A and B are shown apart, each in its own frame.
Chain A
């Protein structure tokens, strides 16, 4: 899991602003995922991508957007349309969607002021 990095570790945002969270992996994995973690809620899937230039909505995609222009990178933008963006965001990757094991990044804690 050391091959997945997220930046920044902490992020503060004012209401009404968009903000982009970075996720990079050097594991040569095809599949990448974004999860949101809130206390007592477990991990909820925001978006996932099986391959470059393709991505699919997860369970809570509203107010978020992603891109997958490169295999190594899967940035997440939290838009002003997301009503409760304060949370811990985790990126993950796996060899493929059909492959079992996911590897997680260290996470970004986003706080809206």
Chain B
């Protein structure tokens, strides 16, 4: 089955800095790559996604890049704010049609 590795597990930044979270996957058939944000005690919410026919997608301060050859994709958050503090999960979806999630990255933004 699919294997998704996510790094780092914890990321601490100062307010205004950029944050980058990277995921690698194994299934070359994967074609959908969402990112979820989960605040403490709450449900995961989709913040951005990308499909395999696109290399980069931006939405205000967040962006996702995809390198299908190397089988990795990354979440970029610019001008971080304290409210960005949360756990972020990547996921992939491919031939099995069932998403596989990374283990999550705890992002801490210090004011």
A1 touches B45 (CB 8 A): yes
A37-69: contact bitstring with B at CB < 8 Å (1 yes, 0 no)? 000111111001000000000110000000000
Does A104 interact with chain B (Cβ within 8 Å)? Answer: yes
Partner of A106 from B1, B43, B51, B89 at Cβ < 8 Å: B43
Q: What residues of A have a CB within 8 angstroms of the CB of B89 in the complex?
A: 42-43
Q: What residues of B have a CB within 8 angstroms of the CB of A105 in the complex?
A: 43
Nearest-neighbour CB distance to chain A for B1, whole angstroms, equals 8
Q: What residues of A have a CB within 8 angstroms of the CB of B104 in the complex?
A: 40, 42
Nearest-neighbour CB distance to chain B for A39, whole angstroms, equals 9
B49 touches A101 (CB 8 A): yes
A43 touches B101 (CB 8 A): yes
A106 touches B42 (CB 8 A): yes
Q: What residues of A have a CB within 8 angstroms of the CB of B49 in the complex?
A: 100-101
Query: Could you tell me which A residues sit within 8 Å of B by CB distance?
Result: 1, 33, 35, 40-45, 48, 58-59, 90, 97-98, 100-102, 104-107
Determine, out of B13-21, B54-62, B92-100, the stretch whose residues face the partner at the interface.
Answer: B92-100
Partner of B45 from A45, A58, A104 at Cβ < 8 Å: A104
Q: What range describes how many residues of B lie at the interface?
A: 20 to 34
B93 touches A100 (CB 8 A): yes
Q: How far is the CA of A66 from the CA of B98 in the complex (A)?
A: 17
Q: What residues of B have a CB within 8 angstroms of the CB of A44 in the complex?
A: 101
Q: How far is the CA of A98 from the CA of B98 in the complex (A)?
A: 8
Does B9 interact with chain A (Cβ within 8 Å)? Answer: yes
Q: How far is the CA of A97 from the CA of B99 in the complex (A)?
A: 9
B43 touches A100 (CB 8 A): no
The verdict on A100 contacting B45 (CB below 8 Å), with A40-B104, A42-B103 known, is no
Given A58-B98, A90-B44, output 5 extra A-B contacts at Cβ < 8 Å.
A41-B103, A98-B97, A102-B99, A104-B43, A107-B42
